[in-house]
Structure 1
Amino acid sequence: MSDVLAVDAVGLTKTYGTLTAVDRLSLQVGQGEVYGVLGPNGAGKTTFLRMLFGLIRPDAGTLHILGRTWDEHGIRALDGVAGFIESPKFYPGLTGRKNLQLLAGLDGGAGRSRIDEVLETVDLRGRERDKVGGYSFGMRQRLGVAASLLRDPRLLVLDEPANGLDPAGIRDMRALVKRLAGSGLTVLLSSHDMAEVEEICDDVTIMRTGAVVYHGSIAALRAKAPEQAHEIHTTDDERAALLARAAELEVTRLDDGLAVRGPQPQIDALVAQLIGEGIALRRLTRRETPLEALFFMLTEPDTDPAAPELAITGAAR
C-alpha cells in the first residue's frame, strides 16, 4: 500500500464573519484505516468535510487528499475519493437501480455488473427495482453508500452515516462500514456518537467549537476515560452513600438515587454489602460508558478542555 496519506490536513481554518467554524485543524488519515471525526453539532465536522470535497475553501492551512491539493490539481483532487455530506439525495420517483445508473452516467459510467456488485455490498439486492420514495431512511443511506462505491474509491467519506436511523438501521450501517473497512478501503466518517466511533474506528479526532481537543487512537482514549458509573436506587440512599464513600467510590446525589463511579469490582462489592446490611436494591443501571463520559467532559461548554484532568490532546500523527 502507498505511504501517501489518505488525508493530510495542517492548520485548516475557516471563518464566517466573527464565527470560527474550524480553528487550525490538523489531522492525518493513513490509507486502510477507519478514522472518526467526532464532536457535537456545531463542532466543525461538516465544515471540514466540505473543505475536503472542495465545496468551500479554507482561509488558511493546507489539505492534501491522497497526495493531491485543490489548488494544484483542481477536481482531480477527488480522484479515488467518494462519499456524501449530510444525507444523500435521490429521485424518489425512480428505482434504486435507475438512480444508480443515472449517477454512474454522470461519473464516467459503470456497467451493470458494478451496479449489481454495489447493491449486493449494501444489502439492497431484491429492492433495487422499487422506487426510492418507498425506501426507509436507512435504505436511502445505504443507497448513498452504494452510489459512492460506484467509482471504486480508495477513500470513502461519510458524514454522520447513522444519524437519524433506528436501532436496526444503526446496526446495519455499522456492520456495512466494518465490511468496507475489512476490504482495505479507507473510511473517514464524522459522528456525534461516541459509541459508534468506539465500535468501528481505529483513530479519532474530537472537536469542540471548531478546535481539536483530542487526537489519537481509540485505545489511548479509552485509557484516559473515567471509571464506569452506575445509578443505584435503594431503600436507604443515605446509608448507601456512606457505604459507597467508605469503599472509596465517587458518589453524586441524584433527585432519585445515587450515581456511583469506580472500578467494577468495587461496585460489585458495594452491592453485596448493601444486601448484606439489609438495604434493598431497587434498581442498578449503567450510565454512559466511560468513553461517552470522557466525550462529554471534553466537549460540553461548561468544561475546560485545558484542565489537567482533561488535557489529553496528542500530536497529530
Structure 2
Amino acid sequence: MSEVLAVNAADLTKTYGTLTALNRISIKVAEGEVYGLLGPNGAGKTTFLRMLFGLIRPDSGTLEVFGRSWDKHGVAVLEGVAGFIESPKFYPGLSGRRNLQLLAGFDGGVAPDRIDEVLDIVDLTDRQRDKVGGYSFGMRQRLGVAASLVRDPRLLIFDEPANGLDPAGIRDMRALVKRLASSGLTVLLSSHDMGEVEQICDDVTIMRTGTVAYHGSIAALREQAPAQAHRITTTDDAATEKLVRARGLEVGHTGDGLAVHGSHGDIDALITDIVGAGIALRGLGLDKTPLESLFFMLTEPTPDAPTPEIDTPVTSGAHR
C-alpha cells in the first residue's frame, strides 16, 4: 500500500458571505479503500467534492490528491482522478457509445476495446447503440460511471450515485461500486443514506453543517451505535411508557407510538408486561437501524439533546 494518501485534506474552510460551507474540515483517504462522505443535504459534502475537482478553491487549509495540490501542480492534480458531481450529463440525441467516444476524445482518445470494456463493466453493452435520451435515470448514472472509467483512474469520486434511483437501481449501483472497489480502485462517494454507506464503505466521515461529526471506520461506528429501536403502538401509550421505564429501557416518541431501545429479550419481556396489564398491542416493528439512529443523533441534534460525544480517530483512512 502506498504511503501517499489518495486524498489528504487539512483544515479546509470555505465561506460564502455569512454562510460557512466548510469549517476546518480534515479528511484522509488511503489508496485502495471505499470511503464514504455522509451527511444530510447542506452538510458540505458537495462543496468538498467540488474542491477535489478544482471547481472551487478553499479560503484556507490544504488539499492534496496523490500528493499533488492545485496551488503547486494545477490541473495535473486530476491525473488518475475521475467521477462526477451531482448527476452526469450527456448528449441525449447520441448513443451511449458515441457519448463515451466524444468524452474520450477530450483526453486524447482511447482504444475501441476500452470503450467495450467499460460498457461491459456497467452492464450497458446491449444498450450502447441506443440514444441516451431513451435511457432510464439509473442507466444514465451507470453511463456516468463508464465515462469515469474510460480514463482508467486510480481514484473515483461519486456524488450521491444512488440518489433518485429506484430500489433495483440502488441495488445495481451498490453492486457496481463493490465490483470497482474489489479491483483495487480507490472510491470516494458522498451520500445522505446511512444504509448505503454501511453496505459499501470501509471508512466514513459524517458531516453536519460544514463540520465533522465523526471520522472513523464503519466497524468502530457500529460499536458506538445505540441498541436497536422497536416501534410499539398500543391503546394506551402513556401506560406503556411507564412499563418501559420500569424495565429501565430507553424510550422516545414517534408520530404514532413509542420507540423503545432494547435487546430482543427486553422487548419480548416488555410485550408480556403490556399484554398482562390489559393493554392492547396495535403495532410492533423495527425502527431505524442502530447506525441510522446514531447518524440522526450526530447530524440532527435537538436543543435538549446535544450532539453526542463519540470516539473519532484522528488517523481515519490513513491506517489501511
TM-score over 0.5 for the alignment? yes
CA distance in 1, matches of 2:259, 2:49: 38
> Which stretch has the larger CA shift, 267-276 or 10-19?
267-276
Partner of 1:91, secondary structure, is coil
Q: How does 1:159-170 map to 2 (within 5 A)?
A: 159-170=159-170
Report the alpha carbon displacement of residue 62 of structure 1 after superposing the two structures with TM. Answer: 0.9
Identity %: 72
1:125 aligns with 2:118: no
Report the alpha carbon displacement of residue 288 of structure 1 after superposing the two structures with TM. Answer: 1.0
Tell me what 2:242 maps to. Answer: 242
Tell me what 1:98 maps to. Answer: 98
Partner of 1:310, secondary structure, is coil
1:300 aligns with 2:285: no
CA distance in 2, matches of 1:158, 1:254: 34
1:251 aligns with 2:230: no
Report the alpha carbon displacement of residue 305 of structure 1 after superposing the two structures with TM. Answer: 8.9
Report the alpha carbon displacement of residue 174 of structure 1 after superposing the two structures with TM. Answer: 0.7
5+ unaligned residues in a row in structure 2: which ranges? none
Q: How many corresponding residue pairs?
A: 316
CA distance in 2, matches of 1:142, 1:303: 41
Report the alpha carbon displacement of residue 271 of structure 1 after superposing the two structures with TM. Answer: 2.7
Work out whether residues 213 and 305 of structure 1, in 8 Å CA contact, stay in contact via their aligned partners in 2: no
Q: How does 1:1-317 map to 2 (within 5 A)?
A: 1-254=1-254, 256-275=256-275, 279-300=279-300, 302=302, 309-317=308-316
Report the alpha carbon displacement of residue 87 of structure 1 after superposing the two structures with TM. Answer: 0.5
CA distance in 2, matches of 1:141, 1:253: 38
Work out whether residues 162 and 173 of structure 1, in 8 Å CA contact, stay in contact via their aligned partners in 2: yes
Report the alpha carbon displacement of residue 270 of structure 1 after superposing the two structures with TM. Answer: 2.1
Q: 1:135 is aligned with what amino acid? A: Y
CA distance in 1, matches of 2:242, 2:304: 30
In structure 2, the CA distance between the partners of 1:253 and 1:64, relative to structure 1 (3 Å rule), is closer
Work out whether residues 10 and 25 of structure 1, in 8 Å CA contact, stay in contact via their aligned partners in 2: yes
Report the alpha carbon displacement of residue 301 of structure 1 after superposing the two structures with TM. Answer: 5.4
Q: 1:133 is aligned with what amino acid? A: G
> Which stretch has the larger CA shift, 16-25 or 156-165?
16-25
Q: Could you give the per-residue CA deviations for residues 177-205 of structure 1, whole angstroms, max 9, x where no partner exists?
A: 11111111100001111111111000011
Q: Could you give the per-residue CA deviations for residues 88-119 of structure 1, whole angstroms, max 9, x where no partner exists?
A: 00000000000001001111211211111111
CA distance in 2, matches of 1:182, 1:279: 52
CA distance in 2, matches of 1:38, 1:300: 13
> Which stretch has the larger CA shift, 54-63 or 273-282?
273-282
CA distance in 1, matches of 2:203, 2:184: 16
Report the alpha carbon displacement of residue 285 of structure 1 after superposing the two structures with TM. Answer: 1.4
Report the alpha carbon displacement of residue 303 of structure 1 after superposing the two structures with TM. Answer: 5.3
**Which stretches of structure 1, 4 residues or more, deviate above 6 A after TM superposition?**
none
Q: Could you give the per-residue CA deviations for residues 149-174 of structure 1, whole angstroms, max 9, x where no partner exists?
A: 00110100000101111111111111
Work out whether residues 224 and 310 of structure 2, in 8 Å CA contact, stay in contact via their aligned partners in 1: no
Report the alpha carbon displacement of residue 234 of structure 1 after superposing the two structures with TM. Answer: 2.8
CA distance in 2, matches of 1:255, 1:207: 27
In structure 2, the CA distance between the partners of 1:245 and 1:149, relative to structure 1 (3 Å rule), is same
5+ unaligned residues in a row in structure 1: which ranges? none
CA distance in 2, matches of 1:155, 1:264: 42
Q: 2:20 is aligned with what amino acid? A: T
Report the alpha carbon displacement of residue 26 of structure 1 after superposing the two structures with TM. Answer: 0.6
Normalised by the length of structure 2, the TM-score is 0.93
Work out whether residues 229 and 288 of structure 1, in 8 Å CA contact, stay in contact via their aligned partners in 2: yes
RMSD over aligned CA atoms reads 1.8
Work out whether residues 83 and 148 of structure 2, in 8 Å CA contact, stay in contact via their aligned partners in 1: yes
Report the alpha carbon displacement of residue 14 of structure 1 after superposing the two structures with TM. Answer: 1.0
Q: 2:153 is aligned with what amino acid? A: P
Partner of 1:126, secondary structure, is helix
Work out whether residues 12 and 22 of structure 1, in 8 Å CA contact, stay in contact via their aligned partners in 2: yes
Work out whether residues 114 and 150 of structure 2, in 8 Å CA contact, stay in contact via their aligned partners in 1: yes
> Which stretch has the larger CA shift, 235-244 or 178-187?
235-244
CA distance in 1, matches of 2:283, 2:277: 17
In structure 2, the CA distance between the partners of 1:53 and 1:211, relative to structure 1 (3 Å rule), is same
Report the alpha carbon displacement of residue 304 of structure 1 after superposing the two structures with TM. Answer: 8.4
CA distance in 2, matches of 1:251, 1:301: 17
